[in-house]
Amino acid sequence: MKILLKNMNLITSDTAQMYIKGANIGIEDGYISFIGASGESKSGFVPDRIIDGANKLAMPGLVNTHTHCAMTLLRNFANDLALQEWLFNRVFPAEAKLTDEAVYWGTLLGIAEMIKTGTTAFADMYLHMGMVANAVAQSGIRANLSISPLKFNAGEKHETIDETPLCNEFYNKWNSYDNGRIKVFIEVHSAYLFNTAQLKEAAQLAKSLNTGIQIHILETELEREETIKTYGVDSAEICYKCGIFDVPVVAAHCVYLSDDDIELFGERQVNVSHNPSSNLKLGSGIARVPYLLERGINVSIGTDGAASNNNLNMFEEMHIAALLHKGINRDPSVVSAGQAIRMATVNGAKAIGFGSETGCIKEGMKADIIILDIEKPHLCPVNDPLAAVVYSAQGSDVDTVIVDGKILMENRELKTLDEEKIIYKVRKLSEGLLGIS
């Protein structure tokens, strides 16, 4: 399908020109065919659809670089708890009851929420990943899906089972699915769940598949203390020693990185996923994002799961990320609106393996575009479009979502998912999972 976005104000996320007023954007065969001034077109381009840009603002789709999508089933379940108690005493026992059906519908709900708040690509690390992939395939969203080579607390004996063959099978089936819309990484939950031998084996598996790794690193001060007690070094250093950083890595949280860790991240080009809402809600602390950015680290933004956020709204994450660091650093210039947008778009796409294809709006890139309705009281007047997106816009302002040149939502109506059915199914499944009636 050929789509023309006509006379559309445009945030590009391209540092060469972050904002264009009144552009015509042509979409053809899933790619951005041309960007021209209002009234300009490409020779021979005859659109099948025209979307009028009056009172609209287009920008790259948001990229959520860390979540556990099917955790929507546990939304508003275990709250006001520190990470260790939340994870080991509440979340892990609930997750042990998860089924294929529950993860499938929970993932669909998370995807529906993400599309409706402007996310066009996400990175997921969870359980029953075959069901996650099926949901992604159905929805049309872009995703980096990671699968663990280890299954913990399996069976009556609560054993740890090697599932490397399942990883190979999953990779061969889903990596590069639908013209590259799905990428597959290896999941390494953390240095506190994996021992050194398991970390080395996971790194070797990722190398053998020529892929990357998703991992939680130094989310809490307790994690730092415990890994130093166990290994003599912190989580970042033990991951480096075990070869984890020999492949592309998306490291979530990174709240307690030392200066040496940050230098190491720069050398190994480790991508950091900043999760401000989750880190605040769990009382984990605040990552040193301005310091990371100053040192050239690729910092992106993630929501984490809906059990620790409790939503998947990337507009909210951009807003919090920008304000939080200004406040704690007593410096209004850090994490500017433009930086926050790039963290949530082009930096995110780079982190999860789509950087050469999407994340900014320019000719030749894949057409992953969202359109905001800016005819709203809280957005009037739009004197500075970048500021309006970060400091004023809401996820509910997203009107239209396009991924790979296909319209996934228009006029806030989902085109590939049955929203009403998904909500009904998740309510029933969550009640059964948590024993709530």
Is 432 a member of any domain? no
Tell me: cis bond preceding 310? Omega within 30 of 0 counts. yes
Is 427 a member of any domain? no
Whether residues 134 and 181 fall in one domain:
yes
Is 154 a member of any domain? yes
Contact 414, 115 (CB under 8 A): yes
Whether residues 8 and 79 fall in one domain:
no
Whether residues 259 and 399 fall in one domain:
no
Is 425 a member of any domain? no
Q: What is the CATH number of the domain that holds 406?
A: 2.30.40.10
* Last-in-domain residue among 316, 351, 386: 351
pLDDT in tens, the chain (437 residues): 999 999 999 999 999 999 999 999 999 999 999 999 887 888 889 999 999 999 999 999 999 999 999 999 999 988 888 888 988 888 888 888 899 999 999 999 999 999 999 999 999 999 999 999 999 999 999 999 999 999 987 666 668 899 999 999 999 999 999 999 999 999 999 999 999 999 999 999 999 999 999 999 999 999 999 999 999 999 999 999 999 999 999 999 999 999 999 999 999 999 999 999 999 999 999 999 999 999 999 999 999 999 999 999 999 999 999 999 999 999 999 999 999 999 999 999 999 999 999 999 999 999 999 999 999 999 999 999 999 999 999 999 999 999 999 999 999 999 999 999 999 999 999 998 887 65
Whether residues 250 and 325 fall in one domain:
yes
Is 310 a member of any domain? yes
Whether residues 47 and 122 fall in one domain:
no
Tokens for 161, please give them: 């089972």
Whether residues 202 and 126 fall in one domain:
yes
Q: Please give the radius of gyration of the chain, using alpha carbons only, rounded to the nearest integer.
A: 21
Whether residues 55 and 187 fall in one domain:
no
Q: What is the CATH number of the domain that holds 151?
A: 3.20.20.140
Whether residues 393 and 370 fall in one domain:
yes
Whether residues 224 and 276 fall in one domain:
yes
Is 87 a member of any domain? yes
Whether residues 52 and 80 fall in one domain:
no
How many whole angstroms separate alpha carbon 395 and alpha carbon 151? Answer: 35
Is 194 a member of any domain? yes
Q: Which domain holds residue 101?
A: 62-351
Tokens for 387, please give them: 């500021």
Whether residues 44 and 126 fall in one domain:
no
Is 402 a member of any domain? yes
Number of domains in the chain: 2
Whether residues 136 and 86 fall in one domain:
yes
* Last-in-domain residue among 310, 327, 351: 351
